[in-house]
Amino acid sequence: MKNTLKNKLFEAIEKKLDEVYPDMTEVNRRKLGYLVQGIALNILFENIDGLSKNHSETVIEMESHKKMFKEHIESMQKDCKILMTNFKNNGMVKFEIDPKTRKPLIKARSTVIAETVTFLNKLNELTMKFYENVYKIDEDKDYNTQTTLF
């Protein structure tokens, strides 16, 4: 690719020099063409190196953010599992499947924890969206991954 790019660049420069300076000798046109081509290639390769480095840094940063969010979600799942077990064992909640979305919901059995249950349902919805949108995990196909809080 380097030689192809080099040749194309040289031919374009030489053609332009021929158009702009028709009375210039071919030897001078070639010398000037090689000089300009060398400068252009050096600038181009420096730019490509910079873009490649920038792209690598961005990919690493994105992957670290994905890892951080996944650890955050897994921590919430662990804590919610303990909380849900306690709520269920003490008869404070019951589990249901929403008939419209067919996703799991919890229902409060007392008004004391109704707001907590609302919050947990919203948190569960955010967790499911996270796995669907960020990791492209479909709960119907990926049986080994927990994509909900409870």
Query: 66-124: per-residue pLDDT in tens?
Result: 888 888 888 888 888 888 888 888 888 888 888 888 888 888 877 667 777 788 888 88
Q: Which two tokens stand for residue 146?
A: 């927990």
Task: Report the chain's terminal Cα–Cα distance, integer Å.
Answer: 54
- What distance in Å separates the CA atoms of residue 2 and residue 37, rounded to the nearest whole number? 12
Only one residue has tokens 């374009």, namely 12
Tens digit of each residue's pLDDT (9 = 90 or more) over 2-52: 678 889 999 999 999 999 999 999 999 999 999 999 999 999 999 999 999
> Between the CA atoms of 140, 142, 144 and 145, what dihedral angle is there, to the nearest 10 degrees?
-90
- Total Cβ atoms within 10 A of residue 131: 19
Q: How confident is the model over 101-117, as pLDDT tens digits? A: 888 888 887 766 777 77
Euclidean distance between CA atoms 146 and 150, whole angstroms: 9
